[in-house]
Chains A and B, each alone.
Chain A
């Protein structure tokens, strides 16, 4: 393939529209370390990022984000002076109350930050589960079981799949991927694997991923262990697979 042809593919990739064979070919070419294409892609992405006129977002978004990350200038911690009860004046009582208030506020803010993180994770989880539930209502949706293969026989997975809408993968009892590695899901149709999703597994061995529609049916779902940025065609050991239909 000439470089000229890759330049077309780079442009289509930059606008997020590359698919099929072309996508596999370009990914392999980039993975092989073509500096020229890499630079062309950067440039195209940069141009696109600046091609739309900026628009002021609604102010409440920034407020919500700053509340989520915690106060921008953290208040300094102060230790209240110890005042003997016998000498306590009304002023000291008021000051004491203020200090207590400040302590409570600092602790409360730290707790709020942590809660915001938890809520955000829970929201993401909820969104995924709600999507799975909606899919399940459709009579054309099927649930496919994946069994542990090779090194992790105790691993298990389920794919909720709809040929037109795509689906969701849920796995359990899978050990977290080693550093620099990630699990990659493949949809196999007519004997050809297509990369479907990269995902991670938490400490309890659970993980999930959204699967975009492939534009057709899928015969087999399989998971392999791959380098963390993903690969265009499977190279690592199969850890989970469904039975062929």
Chain B
């Protein structure tokens, strides 16, 4: 069993030292994804705490056959971070919808700048061709669905799907070459 899975098993048995070790090992990965979604340090720290607290409480539900510890924690982190952004947006939308829409219209910023904003410079994602990276980032960090991405990029749905798939294939190649 991978060491990470061993730690999760320890957590399920109530081993606090295993939890501390699990946190040290995976919090930087989770925090990285969270911060790139919520883009606010206070919110990011809050979400990170929620994610690991949930991991501690639901460690017994982890099934090593269904995914790596990295994927387990990062997927939770991403989902919770997107929830946080949506809640924030709903709060704003209820009162200032017109302003929000104006801002949304204004953010058709170029991808190069978005990558800089997200601190992805030097990462595997940065090395994808722009159209692929853009589609993956809108999905993975902004939480948009394929239909919404197609609308945002003014591209047919089929093109969006192909870009995402090609992007993930390219990502794998890039990561294999420089792990």
Contact = CB atoms under 8 A, between A and B. Distances in A.
Bind each other: yes
A46 B67 contact: yes
A43 B68 CA distance: 9
A166 B68 CA distance: 32
A65 B53 contact: yes
Given A15-B136, A47-B172, A54-B29, A134 B147 contact: no
Given A60-B45, A64-B49, A134-B94, A14 B168 contact: yes
B19 A69 contact: yes
B16 A17 contact: no
Given A15-B164, A52-B36, A45 B71 contact: yes
Interface residues of A, number: 55
B68 to A, nearest CB: 5
Nearest to A20: B147
A46 B71 contact: yes
Given A18-B146, A47-B171, A61-B49, A52 B164 contact: no
Interface in B146-179: 146-147, 149, 160-162, 164-165, 167-168, 171-172, 175
A12 B17 contact: no
B48 A12 contact: no
Q: Name A's interface SS.
A: helix
A44 interface: yes
A18 B150 CA distance: 12
A48 B165 CA distance: 12
A12 B67 contact: no
Contacts of A52: 29, 32-33, 36, 120, 123, 125
A51 B168 CA distance: 10
B90 A165 contact: yes
B49 A8 contact: no
B91 interface: yes
B135 to A, nearest CB: 8
Interface in A183-224: 210, 215
B58 to A, nearest CB: 13
Contacts of B79: 16
Given A61-B48, A69-B56, A72-B16, A8 B145 contact: no
Nearest to B140: A15
B165 A73 contact: no
A151 B66 CA distance: 35
A171 to B, nearest CB: 21
Contacts of A134: 90-91, 94
A19 B94 contact: no
Q: Which 5 A-B pairs have the closest CB atoms?
A: A54-B28, A17-B139, A11-B165, A49-B74, A15-B139
16 contacts: A11-B161, A12-B146, A15-B139, A15-B164, A16-B79, A18-B146, A19-B146, A47-B171, A47-B175, A50-B175, A52-B120, A61-B48, A62-B27, A127-B87, A134-B94, A164-B93
Interface of A: 7-12, 14-20, 22, 42-58, 60-62, 64-66, 68-73, 120, 127, 131, 134-135, 137-138, 164-166, 210, 215
Given A46-B71, A165-B93, 20 more contacts: A10-B165, A12-B161, A15-B136, A16-B78, A16-B79, A16-B140, A17-B144, A19-B145, A19-B147, A42-B67, A46-B67, A46-B68, A47-B172, A49-B33, A51-B123, A57-B45, A62-B23, A66-B16, A66-B20, A131-B90
